Chains A and B, each alone.
Chain A
Amino acid sequence: MFSWEVVSFMELTSSSYSQSDSASNIQNAIMRKAYAVFTSQPGWWFLFVLSITNQEFRIHMFDHSGVVLSRPYNIHQSPCILLCMLSMLTFGNFGHVGYNPTFLPQYLTSWTTAMIQVESTAYDIIDQIFFNFLIRGWGTSCWHVRHKNKDYMIKDAWTHESHVNCKRDILTKIWGLKGVPQLISAWTVEIGGVDDQTDTCCSSLSCSSDIQIHCPLLMQPVEIPLSDFSSIHELLSILINILDSK
């Protein structure tokens, strides 16, 4: 389905690092390319990007809280920084380099499809229904998944801690109504017994207001997105059906 091969990338330039608003500066170039990685590898948890500008080495870390930039290190005077980063990216655990530990790409499994782990159950990924094309924020992606010949939808999203239970509470209250998603399970992903939050890997750097918590939802049934309507008539008939179901 996806390449699942790009662990990181590096940008090189002889110019000094610039944080100006110019669209051509290296910071914006890195941001655009990081965005391309996130869109082509949707299960990505976070991403390390390296840059060497005017012999100064920097580490850029992108996740759903935004981007954190390291201070510059001269590659000749601080070779250990470069070696540590290369070593970690090459030999570190999958979780340490940015793979979402609940998302198992096909080549890492002995199965024929990629899988999403929901607590102790692995669901086969059939298709990606929705992706919100943002790095910072909820990072919502919706997956059509299957387990024991039953189809489900997983809404994989990151939520601010003040809203962790909001969607779950609403879906619980409307459970049983026709025409709305039926919540099967809502959970907070745990990594090593700890809630999966964006500040797990960089707690000293994250602003508390930007911390996002990984809270997927498992729902039924799997339907065609509302935005896929083929005519105004079809859209209106869908809306009428929703009103009728209440």
Chain B
Amino acid sequence: MMENLPSDHSPLKIQPLGFQNEALYCDGRWEPTKIPHILRATSQFSGSLQAQWGRLSSTSSLRGRPSQNTSSHSSIRHEKVHRRISRTSQEEVIEGTFLPTAGSEEQCVANWLNKITHVLQVFSPTTVSNRVTMHSRTTNPPCFWISETSRQPVQDSLMPWKPDLILQEKLP
């Protein structure tokens, strides 16, 4: 089966992919707002971070703006942040280290994969899959991605295990 998969240099491309008026894939990249930091294409970092910080600034949760992204694809981000010194009109520049909330990146990826799965359902054959016919085709895909196991170990075996994401079959 693997030998039939196209290589990195294959001309095979996908058309822009969308889900309920949301763009998932376009211009040769997965939409950066739908995927976590670690999955974003390199050139998407600056723009997406600026957008995130724009939203943060608008809610006044942090009075400041990042001036430079110094990290690569790591989940841990080190950025210079300008902030106003309280009771003065002066600004200072500090080095900020930003950690994602535990499980937030896995949850984001699970949501992203489930949206892709919903899109793919349209293209799935109606008669071939016994899983699709066992579950109603008019409702949802027969399985879904969950990320809760990234925080809570699965105890359903002799050894506990913590996969980042699980593809779970829906029980009829």
B39 touches A52 (CB 8 A): yes
Residues of A within 8 A of B166 (CB): 6, 8-9
B120 touches A86 (CB 8 A): yes
Interface residues on chain A, number (Cβ under 8 Å):
55
B138 contacts the other chain (CB 8 A): no
CB distance from B117 to the nearest CB of A (A): 5
Give the contact stretch, choosing among A76-84, A207-215, A233-241: A76-84
Interface of A is mostly: mixed
Closest A residue to B2 by beta carbon equals A70
Residues of A within 8 A of B171 (CB): 5, 107
Contact among A3, A36, A54, A201 for B159, CB-based, below 8 A? A36
A6 touches B120 (CB 8 A): no
Give the contact stretch, choosing among B9-17, B49-57, B62-70, B86-94: B9-17
B167 touches A9 (CB 8 A): yes
A91 and B167 contact, Cβ closer than 8 Å, known pairs A12-B109, A14-B38, A78-B6: no
A36 and B117 contact, Cβ closer than 8 Å, known pairs A78-B6, A89-B167: no
A93 and B129 contact, Cβ closer than 8 Å, known pairs A10-B164, A36-B159: yes
B161 touches A36 (CB 8 A): yes
B38 touches A12 (CB 8 A): yes
Which residues of chain B from 139 to 172 have any CB-CB distance to chain A below 8 Å in the complex? 141-143, 145, 149, 154, 156-161, 163-169, 171-172
B131 touches A33 (CB 8 A): no
Residues of B within 8 A of A55 (CB): 38-39, 41, 73
CB distance from A13 to the nearest CB of B (A): 8
A90 touches B38 (CB 8 A): no
User: What CA separation (Å) do A81 and B4 show in the bound complex?
Assistant: 11
Closest A residue to B134 by beta carbon equals A108
B46 contacts the other chain (CB 8 A): no
A202 contacts the other chain (CB 8 A): yes
B106 touches A77 (CB 8 A): no
B3 touches A204 (CB 8 A): yes
B29 contacts the other chain (CB 8 A): yes
A7 and B169 contact, Cβ closer than 8 Å, known pairs A80-B14, A108-B134: yes
CB distance from A130 to the nearest CB of B (A): 14
Which residues of chain A from 2 to 34 have any CB-CB distance to chain B below 8 Å in the complex? 2-14, 32-33
A11 and B163 contact, Cβ closer than 8 Å, known pairs A59-B2, A93-B128: yes
A86 touches B113 (CB 8 A): yes
The contact string, 1 if C-beta is below 8 Å from chain A, for chain B 103-135, is 001100100010011001101110011111010
Q: Chain A residues in contact with chain B, CB under 8 A?
A: 2-14, 32-33, 35-37, 39-40, 52, 54-55, 59, 68, 70-71, 73-84, 86-87, 89-94, 97, 107-108, 133, 201-202, 204-205
Q: Chain B residues in contact with chain A, CB under 8 A?
A: 1-3, 5-8, 10, 12-14, 17, 25, 28-30, 38-39, 41, 72-75, 105-106, 109, 113, 116-117, 120-121, 123-125, 128-132, 134, 141-143, 145, 149, 154, 156-161, 163-169, 171-172
Chain A to chain B: the 5 pairs with minimum beta-carbon distance, closest first: A40-B157, A9-B163, A91-B124, A36-B161, A10-B165
19 additional contacts, CB 8 Å, given A92-B131, A94-B131? A2-B156, A9-B149, A9-B163, A35-B159, A37-B157, A39-B158, A54-B73, A76-B41, A79-B13, A80-B6, A81-B6, A84-B5, A91-B125, A91-B131, A93-B131, A97-B131, A107-B171, A201-B1, A205-B2
A-B contact pairs, 21 of them (CB 8 A): A5-B168, A9-B149, A12-B165, A13-B38, A36-B157, A52-B39, A54-B73, A55-B38, A55-B73, A78-B8, A86-B113, A86-B117, A87-B123, A90-B124, A91-B129, A92-B129, A93-B130, A94-B131, A107-B171, A201-B1, A202-B2
